[in-house]
Amino acid sequence: MSFTARVVDGLVTGALPGPPGSGVAPTYLSPTGAEIVFLLLGVVAVVSALLVVATSQLVHAALWLVVTLGSVAGMYLVLTVEFVAWVQVLIYVGAVVALLLFGMMLTRAPIGRSPDLDNAHRWPALVAALATAGALVALVVDAFRSAYVDLDVAGRTPGSAAATGATIFRSWVLPFEVLSVLLLAALVGAIVVSRSTSDGA
Amino acid sequence: MHVVYPAVVSALLFSIGVYGVLARRNAILVLMSVELMLNAVNLDLVAFDVWLRDPLHAGQSLTLFVITLAAAEIGLGLAIVLLVFRTKATINVDELVDLGERAE
């Protein structure tokens, strides 16, 4: 059997080689504290994401997006990936949402209810989204039913700033530098695009 | 932590983002839904990184890269939205049909 076939087979049956020392997975009926916190944060994230796409007030959508992104950061913390969690808070909650609010302000978004935020084909969109959700949830539940990760291992800090920094600046230096060039290009592009009409072109 | 939990939450967030991209009419709301989808992917990347104990920390590094890319995307996307608003006086994606086949 080829490697790809084995990996696909492992993905389908959930029999990927587990990490060392993971042991047998506990039952789903006795959730740990971390799992309960994670599920609560997940409920908050999903409900506020639903409100982002369902609310009829533009500014409220941005504020619900803050709740979603914040609870995703909380989920990162529960998964012991603390550096990524704080980056998420700084960049997403801090910068991206502020940019979105600026965009709304500059495009004279209506304050208050606007009934025409959804377009004509929202029911086909709902069907497509439900189909996506059904397919993805069925797939991941089937694939990862027996996968279990023990988060509470002494001496293991996979998400600390030290560990993340070491891997980024050892193994991922080239993508990191390429990304900085890409950020510069995006910055210059945004400036050029937004001032092209003012100088008469 | 069962890996199913982050995977299911991420799948739900992704499909909510799909709905938002397809059903919303305001371009800024479409950008927000794209952010939801990117966040779903990030959650999966982090969960699998922690699960597989990858010595390269590929999941975390890629999550940081995706966050950076999302920031770049939102900056450029909003610049384009502002340009469209200046030239067309609307950011309603239903009305931006210049490149479509049926112009009427």
Q: Check CB contact under 8 Å for B26 and A117.
A: yes
pLDDT in tens, A60-113: 999 999 999 999 999 999 999 999 999 999 999 989 999 999 988 888 888 778
pLDDT in tens, B21-53: 999 888 999 999 999 999 999 999 999 999 988
| Amino acid present at B15 | S
Quick one: which H or E segment has residue A144? none
Of the ranges A3-7, A119-123, B16-20, the best mean pLDDT one:
B16-20
The answer to whether A143 and A12 are in contact (CB under 8 A) is yes
H-only helix segments in A55-160: 58-78, 82-87, 97-106, 122-143
- Cβ burial, residue A201 (10 Å; 0-12/13-18/19+): exposed
Task: Report the distance separating Cα A72 and Cα A65, nearest Å.
Answer: 11
Determine the straight-line distance between the first and last CA of chain A, rounded to whole angstroms: 61
Say whether residue B87 is in contact with chain A using an 8 A CB cutoff.
Answer: yes
What class is the B4-88 domain?
A: mainly alpha
Q: Check CB contact under 8 Å for B2 and A91.
A: no
Cα A26 to the center of its chain, rounded Å: 27
Interface of A with B in 135-164 (CB under 8 A): 136-137, 139-141, 144-145, 147-151, 158-159, 163-164
Say whether residue B80 is in contact with chain A using an 8 A CB cutoff.
Answer: yes
pLDDT of A142 higher than 50: yes
Task: Report the distance separating Cα A88 and Cα B67, nearest Å.
Answer: 7
Pick the range with the lowest mean pLDDT from A90-104, A150-164, B11-25.
Answer: A150-164
Question: What is the structure's pLDDT at A65?
Answer: 95
**DSSP class of B92:** B
Question: What is the structure's pLDDT at A1?
Answer: 45
| Residue in B closest to A116 by C-alpha | B25
Question: What is the structure's pLDDT at A157?
Answer: 79
| Residue in B closest to A81 by C-alpha | B46
H-only helix segments in chain A: 3-13, 33-54, 58-78, 82-87, 97-106, 122-143, 161-170, 173-195
DSSP-assigned beta bridge partners for residue A3: none
Determine the straight-line distance between the first and last CA of chain B, rounded to whole angstroms: 55
Chain A partners within 8 Å of B56 (Cβ): 167, 171-172
